[in-house]
């Protein structure tokens, strides 16, 4: 493999900014589509939607997002063994785009086949995501030689692209879909994906060289295989991975109400008027990405200032559950203001603060996840344990939609939403207490891996701002 010699920009290989743009536009497409998906499904047929019930829409949304988190495991395996990352990205981008544009087909052109075409579009997005998502970030690390100190900063820049795309999508695709035509929203999401795909097709050879062309399995052929038996230390570390994976389901099942129940609540029960203009319900999904960009440096500097008193990863996990609970208690307060009256519209500040607390929770969770798997997993079981982590992440997305689906319809919605917010909030608190009380034992079972945490501000900012990428199953592969 040859490292491309196309010059640098801001001290980094220009290929980094190609990958930045590719991932930003891909995330623009995905988060744009996600922002309007549930609203489109529940919109009346007169308004261009399908007229589904909240329960039907949220359960479909749950199965869709579950598949989105499972397919990168397959896509990564195909890229590693057969396609190579670059070819997988191209094919994934093409299929992705076809999926968005399929959703953008006007119903008048497919009378009698509307739902069939809709499902085909979702299936194409799932397949494209599997090929694309698992492979872009791995190319970032390959731009740098082993030990290059610029690598951490490179991932910070790369993850900023993810968050920028996630921020821009709901306030553009969402607004277009809600205010003009749902199908135009999906088409705009597809255009975003096409921009990312075009960047790869026209500039990859120049700025990436042959990085990612050859499947990694062929590059490492002949390396020593890890056939050593498991040690008691390995078993302890695997227990930590499994325990944290299971508890993570509760956090993400609450956090992922953003694309479902929170969006419905924003649409039906929130006063979205600001300075005489009505904010689109889908636009509130931009808050998470915006808060990540704003809060990551603050959270990182807080950990650095604490020095040796910085909480261990399990204690940060417990703190994340506390912030998750606070977000749901804010929403419970909103339903109390409504008093069960579906005609009452509450201040948008309730949603703003709920997203604020949930983002703080997400940032506290950033040291845990795929980075934990790569640090703790025995070499020969890394892929298996990574697959287990993906499975629990997928399960949490299905569970999130299942929980949200109990909001019901009509007059019962406010009271049902209150029960959901209260139940998830209490569940998060109880989980946080259990994790906090178990933190000492979990750290003991890590056998020193917890001590690998860095204490300089630059590395901490990189760690915190990478949280969106970590949640989406993007591994930095920096072992």
The rounded mean pLDDT for the chain is: 87
Banded pLDDT at 476 (limits 50, 70, 90): very low
What is the per-residue pLDDT for 222? 46
Q: Which residue has the higher pLDDT, 198 or 459?
A: 198
Query: Is the sign of the CA dihedral 472, 183, 105, 21 positive or negative?
Result: negative
- The C-alpha atoms of residue 90 and residue 292 are separated, in whole angstroms, by 29
Q: Are 470 and 132 in contact (CB under 8 A)?
A: no
Does residue 358 register a pLDDT over 60?
A: yes
More confident site: 435 or 449: 435
Question: Whole-prediction pTM value?
Answer: 0.89
Give the C-alpha separation, 110 to 177, whole Å: 19
Residue 460 has pLDDT above 80, yes or no: no
Which pLDDT does position 465 carry in this prediction?
A: 73
Q: Report pLDDT digits (tens) over 197-234.
A: 999 999 999 998 888 888 876 665 544 454 567 888 98
200/448: higher pLDDT: 200
- Does the structure show a pLDDT above 90 at 427? yes
Over 90: is that where the pLDDT of 479 sits? no
pLDDT at position 2 over 70: no
Rounded CA-CA distance 27/164 in Å is 9
pLDDT on residue 296: 86
Query: What is the structure's pLDDT at 453?
Result: 55
| pLDDT for 357 beyond 70 | yes
What is the distance between the alpha carbons of residues 170 and 189, in angstroms, rounded to a whole number? 10
How confident is the model over 462-477, as a mean pLDDT?
Answer: 59
Per-residue pLDDT reduced to its tens digit, 18-47: 999 999 999 999 999 999 999 999 999 999
Average pLDDT over residues 418-437: 97
Whether residue 369 is predicted with pLDDT greater than 80 in this model: the reply is no
- Residue 199 falls in which region: left (phi positive, over 0), alpha (psi -120 to 50) or beta: alpha
Sign of the CA dihedral running 55, 95, 478, 308? negative
| DSSP tag of 404 | H
Structure tokens at 252: 């993400």
DSSP code of residue 224: P
pLDDT of residue 176: 97
Tens of pLDDT, residues 61-116: 999 999 998 888 888 888 888 888 899 999 999 999 999 999 999 999 999 999 99
Contact 157, 4 (CB under 8 A): no
- Helix ranges, 134-274 (H): 136-142, 150-169, 175-179, 182-208, 216-219, 232-255, 261-269
Quote the pLDDT of residue 478.
36
Cβ count near 125 (within 10 Å): 31
Taking alpha carbons only, the member of 339, 293, 380, 354 closest to residue 24 is 293
Q: List pLDDT tens digits, range 113-149.
A: 999 999 999 999 999 999 998 788 778 878 877 667 6
pLDDT at residue number 467: 66
Instruction: Specify which residues 273 forms β-bridges with.
Output: 278
With a cut of 50, say whether residue 475 has pLDDT above it.
no
397-to-70, 252, 394 alpha-carbon distances in Å: 11, 7, 5
The pLDDT of residue 263 is above 60: yes
Q: What pLDDT score was predicted for residue 368? A: 67
């Amino acid at each position: 493999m040859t490292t491309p010699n196309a010059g640098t920009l801001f001290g980094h290989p220009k290929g980094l900014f190609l990958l930045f743009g590719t991932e930003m536009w891909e995330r623009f497409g995905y988060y744009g589509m996600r922002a309007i998906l549930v609203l489109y499904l529940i919109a009346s047929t007169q308004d261009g939607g399908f007229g589904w019930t909240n329960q039907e829409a949220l359960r479909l949304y749950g199965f869709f997002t579950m598949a989105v988190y499972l397919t990168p495991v397959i896509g990564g395996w195909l890229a590693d063994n057969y396609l190579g990352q670059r070819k997988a990205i191209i094919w994934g981008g093409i299929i992705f785009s076809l999926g968005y544009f399929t959703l953008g087909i006007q119903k008048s052109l497919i009378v009698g086949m509307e739902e069939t075409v809709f499902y085909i579009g979702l299936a194409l997005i799932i397949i494209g995501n599997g090929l694309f998502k698992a492979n872009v970030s791995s190319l970032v690390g390959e731009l740098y030689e082993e030990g290059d100190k610029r690598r951490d900063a490179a991932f910070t820049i790369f993850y900023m692209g993810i968050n920028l795309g996630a921020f821009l999508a709901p306030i553009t695709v969402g607004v277009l879909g809600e205010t003009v035509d749902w199908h135009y929203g999906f088409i705009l999401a597809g255009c975003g994906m096409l921009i990312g795909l075009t960047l790869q097709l026209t500039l990859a050879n120049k700025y990436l060289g042959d990085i990612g062309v050859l499947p990694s399995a062929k590059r490492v052929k002949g390396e020593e295989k890890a056939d050593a038996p498991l040690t008691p230390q390995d078993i302890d570390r695997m227990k930590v991975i499994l325990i944290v994976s299971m508890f993570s389901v509760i956090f993400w099942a609450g956090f992922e109400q953003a694309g479902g129940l929170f969006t419905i609540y924003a649409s039906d029960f929130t006063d979205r008027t600001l300075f005489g203009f009505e904010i689109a319900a889908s636009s509130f999904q931009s808050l998470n990405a915006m808060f990540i960009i704003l809060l990551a440096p603050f959270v990182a500097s807080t950990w650095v200032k604490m020095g040796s008193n910085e909480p261990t990863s399990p204690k940060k996990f417990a703190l994340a559950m506390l912030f998750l609970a606070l977000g749901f208690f804010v929403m419970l307060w909103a339903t109390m203001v409504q008093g069960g009256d579906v005609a009452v519209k509450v201040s948008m500040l309730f949603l703003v603060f709920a997203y604020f607390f949930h983002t703080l929770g997400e940032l506290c969770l950033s040291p845990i996840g795929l980075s934990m798997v790569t640090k703790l997993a025995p070499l020969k079981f890394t892929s298996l344990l990574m697959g287990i982590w993906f499975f629990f992440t997928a399960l949490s997305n299905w569970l999130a939609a299942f929980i949200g689906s109990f909001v019901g319809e009509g007059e019962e919605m406010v009271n049902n939403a209150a029960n959901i917010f209260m139940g998830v909030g209490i569940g998060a608190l109880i989980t946080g207490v259990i994790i906090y009380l178990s933190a000492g034992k979990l750290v003991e079972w890590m056998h020193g891996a917890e001590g690998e945490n860095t204490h300089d501000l630059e590395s901490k900012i990189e760690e915190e701002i990478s949280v969106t990428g970590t949640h989406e199953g993007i591994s930095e592969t920096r072992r």
